Structure 1
Amino acid sequence: MNIKTLCLITLLSSQLGACTSGNSPTLGVSTPESPSALLADLTGVWRGGSSGTYYLRQSGETVLWYGESSAESPAWAQVAIGKRDSQNQIQMDWYDVPKGNSANRGNLTASVLPQAKLAELSHTGSLNESDWEMLSPAPAYPLVMQDNPMPMLPPTSNFSGVWKDLMGARFYLSQHGQELVGYAESAPNQPEWSAILYGKVSGSNLRLNWAGLPKSTQASFSLSSGTQRMNSPNANILMLDQSAPGQMIGMSKWARVN
């Protein structure tokens, strides 16, 4: 056996050993997606399989989104709040808000997939989408979330509806018992600022957290978040509680539109 033949046998044996040991040959064979291909942060703009647009904000395990079928006069508009777990699944409660015409709510469990995608695993309620794909990422920044403890009393009013401040910003609120969620924007199309609202109702008081969204054209606002309290002197007015700490969203007085 000459030297060339021995070298060829040695090369073929090493490649066969790589295949039988479970290792892939180096040429022409793709490897499975690594878990590292999953997005560490979901903050950004997403497109749903039914063409809805979603604006996501992630901070640690907390995930928030606002979705709408269109920017102006959408058929549906939705806020979702939940957590991302160690198995890269998201469990959320979602609520339609009165920027749209529907009034559904439910739960969603979705899986974070490679290539910047999400896929529904299960849901309740009339959810409009079952898969999502990121259109563009956005910078991530920690959320300011404070409990702002106060005595919890039965709500004296239902604050669901559309509200407006003196500068024309709109606040679309959806109340469920003592839970309150909403979406706010300075204008319906390309708003300078936009945010998710979520918090509690106690008596005639609202205790709110808010988180800026990547729908905002003012980039710094999309990174912002804060807390505030509102008081209701009557069923059609909300006033900022100036004595409570927190960074304000919108003007200090909101009036009910409907």
Structure 2
Amino acid sequence: MKLKTFWLKSRISTLVLGALLIFTNCEKENELFTEETSEEIIVTQEKDITEKAFPDKKGKVTEITYQGQQLMVEEMDGVYVFEGDILITPEELQNANKSTGRTQNLWPNCIVYYSIESSLPNKQRVYDAIAHWKSKTNLQFIKRTNQTAYVNFRKGSGCSSSVGRTGGKQNINLADGCSTGNTIHEIGHAIGLWHEQSRKDRNTYVNINFANIQAGKDHNFKTYVQRGEDGDEYSPTLDFGSIMMYGSYAFSKNGMPTITKKDGSTYSVQRTALSAWDKIGVSRMYKKVCGTVPNMSGYYKANDGGHYYVRHIGIDVYWFGEHPNGSWANIFKGKLDGNKITGNFYDVPKGKIQGSGQLKLTVNYNSTKITKTQGSNFGGSVWNKMARPSSLPGTRTAGFGVRNNINNLTARWYANDGGYYYVRQVGSRVVWFGERHFTSGRPAWANVGYGIKIGNNIYLNWADVAKGNANGNGTLQLKMNGANTMTRVAVTGGFGGSSWSR
């Protein structure tokens, strides 16, 4: 799959969404969006709404080979500028030409790490733009700690960004005049979107008036085909309402339109919000990385009376569920495919029940409702996302399990980090739920572990869940030192505990 730009209409309607049915391979995905309500998008008719890295500046026009395509770019201030606001550094150019395709530019696990420089004015536009992306797509944005690949928001001479994940520090440059909408646009580039006017079929919908384009800027109006790419798209038509769309007066030298509709009229564009085709396009682009629904992480209340704390990382979905009366508690680990989750649950000894089995679930278009489609030996069938209660069930004595059996770890364990871990072993499968330090009605952290036991070694993936306030994840290797003690051998993700006893 190649990373292309996806365009959408200013409003969602049942009629427009029906057009999705022409994509026979994506029919099931379209069901996710039928519940979306109409969203008001404010359009503008400005003379030139186009984002530019270096406004009113011209560079040396040169041709480069980037990710298998020939690009005409301008060389300015030590970087190559493509289509006005897309930056390609010499280092990125070298690395990109060693790769095999653009799909490498996706952000793993749908997590975009970012930082904001202290000198950037009006940081709120960044926070608002990030909040918009988080609420409308399946991408997560997490402040960078020590990650190598991340987006850095900083003050610049214009509005500009790289396209896709470069693998290192990549800047989104924002001048004082770059709005929240411009910031949403530049984040679109950073997650992998190109501009609308590059579609291979654009000449079916618009005319390019080259006589009105500034000298040396006509290279910004080439299509994918003209650059040697196939230009596959995931939307049926060019969309004049996309936040990634050039306006009618982009790079105009004389105040006359450079892009018009086929009848010669100009059109309005917007820098307010992602609209329907943008959201659908990103969803399809990142489907194999994180499914097609927005991130599910959070608290859900189920129709069986249980509290469920969900963590969604890429296509992996974890939860810890418990009934407030202590009758049962379970962990779940599943895989997300589009809007469907398949995985297994295991009761853990925070409760009294000892069940396990497979569950199949579906998630609605905005991740506010989970519905069970298969799993006859599991009580809950509908989960609704809501605000986490102020007070949550605390630690409990072990509901089941034994001591002194090195071949069965099922029991409540106590760790040197102060946490209680409710461990369950079924065959070689080992799972747990851990929590520590209740303050103000909830633990400081809570996590689930899911892995296998080979001999006296245990290999786990762990992820914090929304019962606590931490947001880490990683891997663990443990070693049994006896029937009732185990120690940590290796860890990733900053996990605290290093020894356990039961």
Please report the TM-score for the alignment, with normalisation by the length of structure 2: 0.38
Structure 1, unaligned runs of 5 or more: 1-21, 25-30, 138-154
Structure label with greater radius of gyration: 2
Q: In the alignment, which of 214, 226, 229 is matched to residue 477 of structure 2?
A: 229
Alignment map for 1:188-207 (pairs within 5 Å)? 190-207=442-459
Secondary structure at 1:129 match in 2:
coil
Q: In the alignment, which of 52, 77, 82 is matched to residue 334 of structure 2?
A: 82
Distance 1:187 1:234, change over 3 A: same
User: Following the alignment from structure 1 to structure 2, what is the Cα–Cα distance between the partners of residues 23 and 57?
Assistant: 35
Q: Contact 2:406–2:482 at 8 Å: present in 1 too?
A: no
Secondary structure at 1:193 match in 2:
strand
**1:110 corresponds to which residue?**
361
Residues 70-90 of structure 1 deviation map (CA, whole Å, 9 limit, x = unaligned)? 2xx61110101111112x111
User: Following the alignment from structure 1 to structure 2, what is the Cα–Cα distance between the partners of residues 42 and 124?
Assistant: 23
Name whichever structure is richer in strand by fraction. 1
**1:151 corresponds to which residue?**
none
Distance 1:114 1:156, change over 3 A: same
- Which is further off, 193-202 or 164-173? 164-173
Kindly tell me the number of residue pairs found equivalent between the two proteins: 202
User: Following the alignment from structure 1 to structure 2, what is the Cα–Cα distance between the partners of residues 184 and 216?
Assistant: 10
Q: In the alignment, which of 433, 436, 439 is matched to residue 186 of structure 1?
A: 436
The Cα shift of 1:250 comes to 4.3
User: Following the alignment from structure 1 to structure 2, what is the Cα–Cα distance between the partners of residues 163 and 180?
Assistant: 13
Name whichever structure is richer in helix by fraction. 2
**1:62 corresponds to which residue?**
316
User: Following the alignment from structure 2 to structure 1, what is the Cα–Cα distance between the partners of residues 491 and 365?
Assistant: 41
Alignment map for 1:22-37 (pairs within 5 Å)? 33-34=35-36
Q: Contact 1:165–1:250 at 8 Å: present in 2 too?
A: no
Equivalent residue letter for 1:196: V
Residues 1:120 and 2:122 are matched in the alignment: no
User: Following the alignment from structure 1 to structure 2, what is the Cα–Cα distance between the partners of residues 174 and 32?
Assistant: 41
Q: Contact 2:300–2:385 at 8 Å: present in 1 too?
A: yes
Equivalent residue letter for 2:433: Y
Secondary structure at 2:294 match in 1:
coil
User: Following the alignment from structure 1 to structure 2, what is the Cα–Cα distance between the partners of residues 43 and 50?
Assistant: 20
**1:161 corresponds to which residue?**
411
The Cα shift of 1:227 comes to 1.5
Q: Contact 2:417–2:497 at 8 Å: present in 1 too?
A: yes
Residues 1:43 and 2:297 are matched in the alignment: yes
The Cα shift of 1:123 comes to 0.7
The Cα shift of 1:204 comes to 1.0
User: Following the alignment from structure 2 to structure 1, what is the Cα–Cα distance between the partners of residues 310 and 384?
Assistant: 11
The Cα shift of 1:53 comes to 0.8
User: Following the alignment from structure 2 to structure 1, what is the Cα–Cα distance between the partners of residues 406 and 435?
Assistant: 26
User: Following the alignment from structure 2 to structure 1, what is the Cα–Cα distance between the partners of residues 15 and 493?
Assistant: 56
Query: What CA RMSD, in Å, does the superposition of the two structures yield over aligned residues?
Result: 2.7
Equivalent residue letter for 1:64: Y
Residues 27-58 of structure 1 deviation map (CA, whole Å, 9 limit, x = unaligned)? xxxx9524979841111110001221101111
User: Following the alignment from structure 2 to structure 1, what is the Cα–Cα distance between the partners of residues 34 and 494?
Assistant: 47
Residues 112-156 of structure 1 deviation map (CA, whole Å, 9 limit, x = unaligned)? 12461111111142x12010100149xxxxxxxxxxxxxxxxx95
Distance 1:68 1:187, change over 3 A: farther
Distance 1:240 1:246, change over 3 A: same
User: Following the alignment from structure 1 to structure 2, what is the Cα–Cα distance between the partners of residues 235 and 172?
Assistant: 16
Higher relative contact order, structure no. (Cα contacts within 8 Å, ≥ 6 residues apart): 1
User: Following the alignment from structure 2 to structure 1, what is the Cα–Cα distance between the partners of residues 427 and 358?
Assistant: 17
Equivalent residue letter for 1:200: I
Secondary structure at 1:103 match in 2:
coil
Q: Contact 2:417–2:498 at 8 Å: present in 1 too?
A: no
The Cα shift of 1:245 comes to 4.7
Distance 1:175 1:248, change over 3 A: farther
User: Following the alignment from structure 1 to structure 2, what is the Cα–Cα distance between the partners of residues 196 and 111?
Assistant: 21
Residues 1:101 and 2:352 are matched in the alignment: yes
The Cα shift of 1:177 comes to 1.4
The Cα shift of 1:193 comes to 0.8
**1:132 corresponds to which residue?**
383
User: Following the alignment from structure 2 to structure 1, what is the Cα–Cα distance between the partners of residues 34 and 487?
Assistant: 55
Q: Contact 2:430–2:453 at 8 Å: present in 1 too?
A: yes
Q: Contact 2:450–2:462 at 8 Å: present in 1 too?
A: yes
